[in-house]
Chain A
Amino acid sequence: MARKLRPDAPRVVTANRLRDGVVVYRTAAGAWSPALDDAHVVASTEAEEGLLRACTADVADCLVVGLDVIEVQIDAHGAIAPISQREAIRAVGPSIALPQDRAFAPLAAPA
């Protein structure tokens, strides 16, 4: 679990989808979305506890695992971004270019 947040820090609930491991965020409608911008942001300890309570059924029903609360910031355009580097990488993927599988010319016949 993340360390304790400031009482009024904006925060969202995240988890991994059980069947495929995909990173997901809790939405206001009570669903799970792979997009952080869909997340329901709350900004108090009480609201966080309520949000987590609402999620526990989905843990019990094997929809998600690894429930966590992470601190976020919201820019002028309403885009949500995590505070920590770890969560930023979780949200958008590795910071590096991933290897691209490209086919090679067939091997020449042996001499």
Chain B
Amino acid sequence: MFWNLSGIIVASLFVIGVEVPYLRRKGYKKELLVFSMLLAAGILLSVLEVIKIPLPNPLDMITAVYQPISDFVYALLGASK
């Protein structure tokens, strides 16, 4: 776990080192904001995954939405459960 966490830190420092100087030189404010938010979200998700905190799976939500339609259509096509 220690190595994984340090890997994430090194990787994020690398990403910041590669992209931020360019964004600042060009004076892109909004780009820098979106970049920071995406990076923060990415780091947060990776850290939570590494320390084994269960994350919500978006496919669960998609399944919840589409399961009734799927059941209906496949019953129409004569599928056995």
Task: Say whether A and B bind each other.
Answer: no
Query: Residues of A at under 8 Å CB distance from B?
Result: none
